[in-house]
Amino acid sequence: MDKALSVSVSNYLNSRKQSMTGIYLLFVAVIWLAFVGWLSKTIAGKLSKTTWRRPIAMVIFVALLPLPLIDEIIGGRQFEQLCKDNSTIQVDRVTAVGRTVYLAQTPDVEIKGTWLRFVLKPWRFVDVTTGESIVSYNTVMASGGRFIRSVGISEGGVPLTFKGWCDPKDAPASVQTFKPFGINYIEPPIAKIGEVK
């Protein structure tokens, strides 16, 4: 009974935390919207009396509104391209059939020269006897932009404007998902854990 109560309380607190996060984000968005509106009006108001005042204020408003998320907007496009570039699974279906593989540990690769932090995680499934790479693919993870990190409302620092994770469609990672390839998957042998390939 105590365990059920504990789970129930935990679920309640998690749902309240998510509600509070949404309210906090809405509050920040309203403040930004008001500030951008005020700033646009103020800048356009400095112009001499002209029919261009309102259109200029609108242009300023539209230009300033997405600024807090500009790194995520541009980073999202970069992320889409990275996901396309890493959307394939490398496997020789003829020689892979009947092999037994395990997931070799490989270091993550941080992608440089992007607007957001992107980490490429190589997945290399190697033959248990030869160490030869049988199946390989990459997944890509993205961190959120400056805005989401500064307000601190995203657990794990994930992006606000797009899903910060991608992997190839039907990427194998368990016993069941390797079966269509005719490959046996096992956990890494104890001696291989900690070994980087």
Task: Using DSSP, state whether 177 is helix, strand or coil.
Answer: helix
Residue 197, domain member (yes or no): no
For 162-176, the DSSP string reads S--EE--TT---SHH
pLDDT band at 194 (very low <50, low <70, confident <90, very high): low
Looking at the structure, tell me whether residues 8 and 105 fall in a common domain. Answer: no
The phi, psi pair for 136, rounded to 5°, reads -150, 150
Residue after which a domain boundary falls, among 17, 46, 65: 65
Which tokens hold the place of 172?
């194998």
Domain count, the chain: 2
Looking at the structure, tell me whether residues 41 and 132 fall in a common domain. Answer: no
Looking at the structure, tell me whether residues 84 and 113 fall in a common domain. Answer: yes
pLDDT for residue 13? 42
Looking at the structure, tell me whether residues 159 and 104 fall in a common domain. Answer: yes
Looking at the structure, tell me whether residues 91 and 184 fall in a common domain. Answer: yes
Looking at the structure, tell me whether residues 57 and 74 fall in a common domain. Answer: no
Helix (H) or strand (E) holding 101: strand 100-104
Helix (H) or strand (E) holding 109: strand 109-111
Residue after which a domain boundary falls, among 65, 89, 108: 65
Tell me: pLDDT of 67 over 80. Answer: yes
pLDDT for residue 195? 57
Domain of 18 in residue numbering reads as 2-65
Contact call for residues 140 and 84 (beta carbons, < 8 A): no
Looking at the structure, tell me whether residues 35 and 78 fall in a common domain. Answer: no
Tell me: pLDDT of 197 over 70. Answer: no
Looking at the structure, tell me whether residues 116 and 169 fall in a common domain. Answer: yes
C-alpha torsion sign, points 26, 31, 36, 41: positive
Task: Using DSSP, state whether 135 is helix, strand or coil.
Answer: strand
Looking at the structure, tell me whether residues 77 and 113 fall in a common domain. Answer: yes
Instruction: Dump pLDDT digits (tens) for 28-39.
Output: 889 999 999 999
| pTM of this structure | 0.75
Residue after which a domain boundary falls, among 65, 94, 119: 65
Looking at the structure, tell me whether residues 15 and 103 fall in a common domain. Answer: no
Residue 32, domain member (yes or no): yes
101: burial class by Cβ within 10 Å (0-12, 13-18, 19+)? buried
Task: Using DSSP, state whether 92 is helix, strand or coil.
Answer: coil
Task: Using DSSP, state whether 148 is helix, strand or coil.
Answer: helix
pLDDT for residue 21? 74
